[in-house]
Amino acid sequence: MKIFRHLTTTLVAFSAMVAGGVFAFAVVVTFVVSVFRGVEISAWNVVTSQIARWFLLWIGVYVIHNLLPIAVAHGRTRRQFLVAASGFSVVLAFAMAVIAWLGFTVEGGIYALMDWRADEHGTPWAYFLMFLVWCAVGMFCAAAFDRFGAGGIFSVPVGLALVVVSTVRIPGSGNLPFIRNVPSLLGSGWHLMSVVAFLIALAGTWAVARDMPIRLRTT
């Protein structure tokens, strides 16, 4: 419980501050762009659909690569840490989805006031699932590289397949090559696929990290 509380109080707060700063920057950029041309896209949509997922991936990597060894060195078991990290990933994804939606609400008010047009964005549920999967995949790949070294490269195609599933229902996240109208193939079933992708990434993290060697830097 102490590990979970530490992860949520530090990393969720840090992520919220980063998101707030990025939102302010996106608003400033939008006003600058409006001086030279009409505004037709949502800057916050670019952030949430393209940039935020990589931030969540990095958080997942950081949790396993940096914090797991520290927790074990302080007497915690891998199992205790992985239980806490699993719960933390859900809380972080939820918090970031709420922040994303609040950003869209505030940005929508600004756009309406300035008579700007914004492109379509996804639902809070879709962002929650995307953030959840990307964070879990970050943990999985970090565990694979830490345990197998260069052999961890084989986790990348698996991780790529899992994260692609989570972006299908996010407007602006990019389309899959050679396949058109992918969201219409399964409809809301893609949300279920994202849940499955999260569970697979989480199971992979547990399977790999339970025997992962712990290496602490010494000075």
How much is the average pLDDT of 55-67? 95
Q: Identify the H or E element spanning 7.
A: helix 2-7
Q: Do the domain assignments include residue 202?
A: yes
Q: Do the domain assignments include residue 54?
A: yes
Q: Do the domain assignments include residue 217?
A: no
Chain segment 169-211, per-residue pLDDT in tens:
777 665 544 444 444 455 567 788 899 999 999 999 999 998 7
How much is the average pLDDT of 67-91? 92
Q: Do the domain assignments include residue 113?
A: yes
pLDDT for 146 beyond 70: yes
Q: Do the domain assignments include residue 214?
A: no
Q: Do the domain assignments include residue 215?
A: no
Give the C-alpha separation, 119 to 3, whole Å. Answer: 40
Q: Do the domain assignments include residue 103?
A: yes
Q: Tell me if 36 sits within 8 A of 112, measured CB to CB.
A: no
Counting the structural domains of the chain, the total is: 1
What domain range is 142 assigned to?
2-209
Give the C-alpha separation, 57 to 156, whole Å. Answer: 12
Q: What dihedral do alpha carbons 40, 43, 45, 47 form, nearest 10°?
A: 160
pLDDT band for position 217 (50/70/90)? low
Q: Do the domain assignments include residue 22?
A: yes
